[in-house]
């Protein structure tokens, strides 16, 4: 048994209300005991941007922004790690990103690779490799929301040694949570989907979100799952050894029989 306790926060950010969103999300996080807490995509800003001016006003440089500062403070005080979505500003460019923050500060920033709908107007697609980070005894990878539709993302992280894939989300397709069970099964990894609830109604559009955040075990079984609407934090104990044992049977390994030379179409 190689125990690692994780949690998600499911909440309903208010567009543009960064301070209130940070306060509420961290208050929910404080209700759970866990080594790692995952918060939703674009947690501090809300989702439905309606102009480039709004993006420029609300996006943050992680070295100076309010989201990073709040997470650094919480992680240091609580001696644990956070992953949370935020709008990133970097040298005049904007990304839909997630940061991994620990007691010593920011560990990594992942920039969403696969942008959905109007996100393509506001953000650039990610320009950094999918990567795996040591968090205590665990190896953690990040994807963001619609990245779920591209199984390559989870596979790459699993091949790089991830035990756990954190998935900050603002999900709109009702089958995404189901697909994440499959991401867990096909890679034998734990997945944590931290989704948001509610409907955002703005000049940029009306978007209802699907809630049902979940922690899924390495066999694809949900260990914790929220309702569609609750604002709640939930936790589960992971046994990392299960994700690290890729032997499906005595003679069948999950990854060794792969035939990459027949997968070339995937990377054309
Ligand atoms: C999404 O990627 N937020 C649907």
**170 CB within 6 A, ligand 1:** yes
Atom of ligand 1 lying closest to residue 47 CA? 3
**41, 54, 60, 119: which one is catalytic?**
41
Average model confidence (pLDDT) across the chain? 98
Instruction: State yes or no: pLDDT of 224 exceeds 90.
Output: yes
With cut-offs at 50, 70 and 90, classify the pLDDT of residue 1: confident
Q: What is the pLDDT of residues 31-47, one digit of tens each?
A: 999 999 999 999 999 99
Q: Measured in angstroms, how far is the CA atom of residue 171 from the centroid of ligand 1?
A: 5
Q: Measured in angstroms, how far is the CA atom of residue 97 from the centroid of ligand 1?
A: 12
Considering the four listed CATH numbers 3.60.110.10, 2.60.120.10, 3.30.360.10, 2.40.110.10, the one that applies to the domain covering 3-267 is 3.60.110.10
Torsion angle (degrees, nearest 10) of CA 116, 117, 122, 126: 20
Q: Is 145 designated active site?
A: yes
Q: What is the pLDDT of residues 18-35, one digit of tens each?
A: 999 999 999 999 999 999
**41 CB within 6 A, ligand 1:** yes
At 253 the pLDDT is 98
Q: Measured in angstroms, how far is the CA atom of residue 146 from the centroid of ligand 1?
A: 5
Instruction: State yes or no: pLDDT of 252 exceeds 90.
Output: yes
Rounded to an integer, the average pLDDT of 143-157 is 98
Rounded to an integer, the average pLDDT of 201-219 is 96
At 44 the pLDDT is 98
**107 CB within 6 A, ligand 1:** no
With cut-offs at 50, 70 and 90, classify the pLDDT of residue 86: very high
**110 CB within 6 A, ligand 1:** no
**143 CB within 6 A, ligand 1:** no
Q: Measured in angstroms, how far is the CA atom of residue 258 from the centroid of ligand 1?
A: 30
Q: What is the pLDDT of residues 164-175, one digit of tens each?
A: 999 999 999 999
Atom of ligand 1 lying closest to residue 169 CA? 3
Instruction: State yes or no: pLDDT of 204 exceeds 90.
Output: no
Q: Is 41 designated active site?
A: yes
Q: What is the pLDDT of residues 87-126, one digit of tens each?
A: 999 999 999 999 999 999 999 999 999 999 999 999 999 9
């Amino acid at each position: 048994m190689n125990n690692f306790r994780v949690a998600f926060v499911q909440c309903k950010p208010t567009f543009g209300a960064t301070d209130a969103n940070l306060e509420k999300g961290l208050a929910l996080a404080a209700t759970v005991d866990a080594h790692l807490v995952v918060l939703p995509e674009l947690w501090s800003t809300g989702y439905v941007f309606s102009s480039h001016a709004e993006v420029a006003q609300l996006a943050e440089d992680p070295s100076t922004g309010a989201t990073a500062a709040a997470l650094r403070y919480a992680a240091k005080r609580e001696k644990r790690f956070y992953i949370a979505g935020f709008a990133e500003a970097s040298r005049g460019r904007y990304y839909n990103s997630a940061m991994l923050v620990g007691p010593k500060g920011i560990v990594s920033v992942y920039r969403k690779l696969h942008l959905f709908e109007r996100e393509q107007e506001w953000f650039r697609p990610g320009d950094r490799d999918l990567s795996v980070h040591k968090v205590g005894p665990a190896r953690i990878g990040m994807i963001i929301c619609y990245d779920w539709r591209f199984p390559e993302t989870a596979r790459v992280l699993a091949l790089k040694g991830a035990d756990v894939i954190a998935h900050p989300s603002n999900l709109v397709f009702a089958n995404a949570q189901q697909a994440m069970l499959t991401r867990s099964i096909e890679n034998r990894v734990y997945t944590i989907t931290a989704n948001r609830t509610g409907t955002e109604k703005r000049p940029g559009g009306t978007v209802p979100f699907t809630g049902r955040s979940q922690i899924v075990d390495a066999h694809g079984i949900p260990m914790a799952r929220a309702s569609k609407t609750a604002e709640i934090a939930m936790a589960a104990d992971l046994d990392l050894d299960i994700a690290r044992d890729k032997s499906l049977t005595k003679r069948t390994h999950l990854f060794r029989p792969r035939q990459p030379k027949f997968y070339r179409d995937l990377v054309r």
